[in-house]
Structure formats: structure tokens, C-alpha cells
Amino acid sequence: MAAKPKPRKPAARGYYDLAAQAVRELLVEKRVISETEILNLLATAAKRGPQVGARIVAKAWTDQAFKKKLLADGKRALADIGIPFGEAQLKVVENTPRVHHLICCSLCSCYPRSILGQPPFWYRNPEFRSRAVREPRKVLKELGVTVPARTAVYVHESNADIRYLVVPQRPAGTGALDEAALAALVTRDCLVGGAQARAPGRKPKSRA
């Protein structure tokens, strides 16, 4: 006789998960915030993410005038293409064969969240935060980016008033690609200098 499949136990929910739900339900019950407002906020949050950064980078790769504006005044350049940047100022830096930029926040985890959403896991890691300013080349190597000695490494310490975005180097052999195809080459890690944009056809390296 075949063994009966065991009914699957629902995964236990953690304390904070339950507490968050309780607070949410209370806020709605007490009419502090409505369910519709919560859903709208969630919808807005879902629009943020690396795909927004990838779109910005692809546009910078294909539109020199936009790139110039972006590097001069990130916030204004983004407003021009309909991407509101909520918090702080935005400083955009460009990786070239001469300079590789790496962004970190040694004190906390400042990151341009209003466009990119949540930072990569490693970006929030205390070890990354303390070592990125101290030995950036070694840290970059561990992230999979080997920077040749002739290329300078510029580390930018992010903070509450100024956030940073990196335009990675455009991979070779991408001259014929349109903006959408180019954007697909830009991963989340590229946007803070923790990776290179990949050449077309190459699978992105997965990293938590």
C-alpha cells in the first residue's frame, strides 16, 4: 500500500512577520491608513528596483546628451525622463577604462532606494561596509571584478544627503543593441560598481 502523502505543515511565521501584520490590521481598523493606501504604497515600491537603474544606464549608453546631463545633475536628468528621485541629491559616476567606481556606505546602508529599491545583500553586510573603503580592490575581486592596476579605483562613501549611481562600462560588441536589449545586460550589482555589465549572451552570475 502506498504511503499516504503527509499533509504539509504551513511554515511557521516569525514574530516580526506576525507583529507587522497585527500593526497593519490595527492601523486600518483605527482608520489611520486605509487598505487602498497600503496597496498603492506596495505598487509604488514594486516599481522601484534594478530595472529602473538598468533603463537609466541603457539610455546613458545610447544618448550622449542625456549622459552628460546625468553626470552633471542626476536628479534633474532623471526628472526630465519622468523618473522622480525622492530622497537627497543624486551623484552619477561613470566607469571607464581609466577609473572604476565603487559605492559604499560604511556608517549604515544609504542607497538610492527611491529608484533602485533595496540594496544588494552584500552592500548591507558590515564586513563589506568596513572593508570597501580600506581595501576596495580585494573586495571587488571577491565580488568578481578584477580591476587592472592601471585603472584607478574611486570609492564613494554614500550618505543621507547624497546618493550614488554607477554607469558601468558598456560591454564590447553591443553596438547593434537597442536600449531594451542593453538594459538586460545591467544587473543590480553594476549600479553600485560591484559588477561589470555582462557581454551579450553571457549568463549573469547569481549572487545573494
Residues 67-126 that bind another protein (CB under 8 A): 89, 91, 106-107
Is residue 105 part of the annotated active site? The answer reads yes
Question: What is the Cα–Cα distance from 123 to 103, expressed in whole angstroms?
Answer: 9
Q: Residues binding another protein: what is the number (CB under 8 A)?
A: 23
Question: What is the Cα–Cα distance from 58 to 171, expressed in whole angstroms?
Answer: 11
> 157 in helix, strand or coil?
strand
Give whichever of 157 and 179 is closer to another protein, judged by the CB atom.
Answer: 157
Q: Which of 104, 106, 110, 114 is catalytic?
A: 110
Is residue 109 part of the annotated active site? The answer reads yes
Tell the smallest beta-carbon distance from residue 163 to another protein (Å).
11
Give whichever of 63 and 157 is closer to another protein, judged by the CB atom.
Answer: 157
The answer to whether 55 touches 179, Cβ cutoff 8 Å, is yes
Q: Which of 105, 106, 114, 190 is catalytic?
A: 105
Judged by CB under 8 A, does residue 28 bind another protein?
Answer: no
* Residue of 206, 99, 208, 110 lying closest to 158 (CA atoms): 110
Residues 150-169 that bind another protein (CB under 8 A): 150-157, 159-162
The answer to whether 99 touches 208, Cβ cutoff 8 Å, is no
* Residue of 48, 55, 87 lying closest to 70 (CA atoms): 55
E-strand stretches of the chain: 89-94, 99-104, 152-157, 162-167
φ/ψ region of 43 (left if φ > 0, alpha if ψ in -120 to 50, else beta) reads alpha
Tell the smallest beta-carbon distance from residue 161 to another protein (Å).
5
Taking CB under 8 A as the binding criterion, the range among 5-13, 113-121, 149-157, 190-198 that sits at the site for another protein is: 149-157
Tell the smallest beta-carbon distance from residue 158 to another protein (Å).
9
Q: Which of 34, 104, 106, 108 is catalytic?
A: 108
What does DSSP assign to residue 132?
T
Is residue 104 part of the annotated active site? The answer reads no
Tell the smallest beta-carbon distance from residue 100 to another protein (Å).
10
Tell the smallest beta-carbon distance from residue 88 to another protein (Å).
9
Question: What is the Cα–Cα distance from 157 to 164, expressed in whole angstroms?
Answer: 9
Residues that are catalytic: 105, 108-110
Q: Which residues bind another protein (CB under 8 A)?
A: 89, 91, 106-107, 133-138, 149-157, 159-162
